[in-house]
Amino acid sequence: MIQQIRGTKDILPDEISVWQHIHTIANQILNISNYQEIRTPILENTNLFERVIGNETDIINKEMYTFKDKGNRHITLRPEGTASIARSFIENKLYVKSNINRLWYLGPMFRYERPQRGRQRQFHQLGIECIGSANYMADVEVIRLAVKILECLKVSNFELQINSIGNREERTKYKEKLLSYLKKYTHDLDEDSKKRLNNNPLRILDSKNKKTQEILFNAPTLQSCLGKMSLNHFYNVCKNLTYLNTPYTINYKLVRGLDYYNYTAFEIKTIEKNDENTICGGGRYDTLIEELEGPKTPAVGWAIGLERLIIVMDNDLKRQQNKPKIYLIMKDNRAEKNIWDIIHICEKNKINFLLDLNNTKLSKQLKKAHQVSAKVCIILDVDELKDIYCKIKWLSNGYQETININQLENYLKENKNLLIN
């Protein structure tokens, strides 16, 4: 039997309502704040990610799905969303229409990682990018929207962690201080941290290894290398979050796994004791678009991993399904054409229905109506005088009445609140 590829997962019909709900909530919240949805290709030129993400990152070195197509071009399945948004921003000259572009996206990403709970090789991200403003208010805006979306999706017990990682010059200065400190502990570091010493030492701060974290306890902080502009930007972000009553923790060891960030970096973590508790991550990237040969354009954004998000969402919300309110049964085939009139009435009044196609005994069809949790069963029948009528059976209490098919629309309108609630 042919099975799904390891690290991929079918999203089944009884799960899809949760995904649709996430898109609906994101669309509602982000549209109000004038963020517009954008959809970019899954396939991109490999060079885009090599330039944007950084050659020393695990994503480039270990995780990208890259291949040559039939035109001998190097193609990559996108491992994250920001690079594609930046490419689209430049290629389509979005900066001509507006100096600030607020964009959001939702779609699949691909990384060759060890599959585990909440992490697949094909995974999905919801992300936003505020492109065109260096103002710290943009940082606050995107963080606020992430928190608001999580709250509206009934995610609880999460923590916002923020940090300032300064600009490139300040980080270079800090790398020298950190390397100087770590050299005397080289043999005590975990293997991944040893590899990162020469190519990406800041990522050592992210190590989950207990011994490495003990070594880092007395390490110099990045804040000791920040200049006035970086500190002032971070101070104003924190001040505005405080005004918004948005709780946060300053995590001086927080760095992002992508090279393009500067100034503000942040993560939203669930309060769980495991290594995979980050559900949202983002930050400011003021030089990325210019490095891709676009105009000098500051930006800030974030991405939420949907698989992890769904794990921590409220269980009652996850159990909600698009269940039919009305179950339609044809008792007499002589009236089969009239079932389409009833269906038209249901569609016109936006009432979810399910037409029984089994042609089994009435008792079995009624049993099926109960199984799918319908509110009402409408049984279409014909009497001796060939008068077409409906039996309306309320499944919660067994109450039943008979009406002419011509009265059905008014009946449904009068009882719509009982049907949909």
Strand partners, 377: 327, 393
Strand partners, 301: 129, 283
Are the C-beta atoms of 389 and 397 separated by less than 8 Å?
no
Q: Which amino acid is at 276?
A: E
Q: Which residues contact 277 (CB under 8 A, 6 or more apart)?
A: 269, 270, 271, 308
Give which of 362, 363, 376, 368 is closest to 331, Cα–Cα.
362
Report whether 243 belongs to an annotated binding site: no
Report whether 37 belongs to an annotated binding site: no
Report whether 35 belongs to an annotated binding site: no
Report whether 6 belongs to an annotated binding site: no
Report whether 80 belongs to an annotated binding site: yes
Exposure letters 179-206 (e unless 16+ CB within 10 A, then b): eeebeeeeeebbeebebbeeebbbbbbb
Give which of 73, 77, 83, 91 is closest to 43, Cα–Cα.
77
Report whether 174 belongs to an annotated binding site: no
Report whether 272 belongs to an annotated binding site: no
Report whether 95 belongs to an annotated binding site: no
Instruction: Provide the token pair at 165.
Output: 């990682």
Q: What is the dihedral of CA 356, 359, 363, 364, to 10 degrees?
A: -70
Report whether 297 belongs to an annotated binding site: no
Annotation: binding site = 80-82, 111, 125, 129, 256, 260-261
Annotation: binding site for L-histidine = 80-82, 111, 125, 129, 256, 260-261
